[in-house]
Amino acid sequence: MADIERFRNEFERICRKEVKPMGLMVMRDVTIAKSEYVPSEKMITKVQDFQEDEELFRYCTLPEILKYVECFTGPNIMAMHTMLINKPPDSGKKTSRHPLHQDLHYFPFRPSNNIVCAWTAMEHIDRNNGCLVVLPGTHKGSLKPHDYPQWQGGINIMFHGIQDYDENNTRVHLVMEKGDTVFFHPLLIHGSGRNKTQGFRKAISCHFASANCHYIDVKGTSQENIEKEVVRFANELFKVKQDINLKDVWRFRARLVKGERINL
């Protein structure tokens, strides 16, 4: 619990612009206009890629997390994707929802069975404030095509969703207490509902992969659309001069947390 309070405090420092780690992406909800922006946690829906923030990155090295991660990755463990999510009170346009998706859509590395997400609740989370919803057993399926859902209120950047899934599939809503952690496969179909409360729903997560995983070329696959978007975004954010691809972006994000760095 002390760790969670430290993560919360660091997040607030980032929101106030007291610290700005290299590579960090600070994101706000699509309904928040640039003209309204003031540095506070009420404006920030997510910080992504906190691998250079020493305090937040401690999450990825916690022994109580890694002992479970190692069951999926083996002894050589890479932290690939880091996020602290601050789901805001919904504006009424339902933009605080996250469409049903598979995380593998974003990843140009395989095999999927050696990738796992650790997702930790930073407070009580239930259907009221937009808990995770999962479709059990879907991790045994294949990667499905993703794109932006046609939602009237708008959709946040890179919140791609599955375009065809079985509407009758059983859904499980994950009610979690502060400190509870769920570990899940990158093919598991999951998302989250809107936050119907006036508070912010916080969670911290990391996708880990075995350092023995390898990169793949996503050109000509259903992942080509996310590669184009990520590369365009990276070029705008970091003013990259040369041609880059999705693999280059992930090599930049990846950090060794245990064992030996091999392929990733």
For residue 4, being part of any structural domain is answered with: no
For residue 6, being part of any structural domain is answered with: no
| Secondary structure E strands in 88-149 | 98-101, 109-110, 115-121, 132-134, 146-147
Check residue 186 and give its pLDDT.
Answer: 97
Looking at the predicted structure, is the pLDDT value of residue 93 above 90? no
Burial label for 167, CB within 10 Å (0-12, 13-18, 19+), is exposed
| pLDDT bucket at 231, cuts 50 / 70 / 90 | confident
Q: CA-CA distance, 155 to 132, in Å (whole number)?
A: 18
Give the count of domains, the chain.
1
For residue 7, being part of any structural domain is answered with: no
Distances (CA, A) of 253 to 83, 86, 101, 213: 12, 21, 21, 15
The count of residues in the chain is 264
Mean pLDDT of 30-44: 59
For residue 211, being part of any structural domain is answered with: yes
Looking at the predicted structure, is the pLDDT value of residue 116 above 80? yes
Looking at the predicted structure, is the pLDDT value of residue 194 above 50? yes
For residue 45, being part of any structural domain is answered with: no
**What tokens were used for 60?**
């990825």
**What tokens were used for 28?**
């706000």
For residue 11, being part of any structural domain is answered with: no
For 60-72, how does the pLDDT look when each residue is reduced to its tens digit (9 = 90+)? Answer: 999 999 999 999 9
Residue range(s) defining the domain that contains residue 120? 64-258
More confident call, 161 vs 219: 219
| pLDDT bucket at 35, cuts 50 / 70 / 90 | very low
For residue 177, being part of any structural domain is answered with: yes
Q: What is the CATH number of the domain that holds 116?
A: 2.60.120.620
Buried b (16+ CB within 10 A) or exposed e, 107-116: bbbeebebbb
pLDDT > 90 fraction of the chain, expressed in percent and rounded: 56
For residue 139, being part of any structural domain is answered with: yes
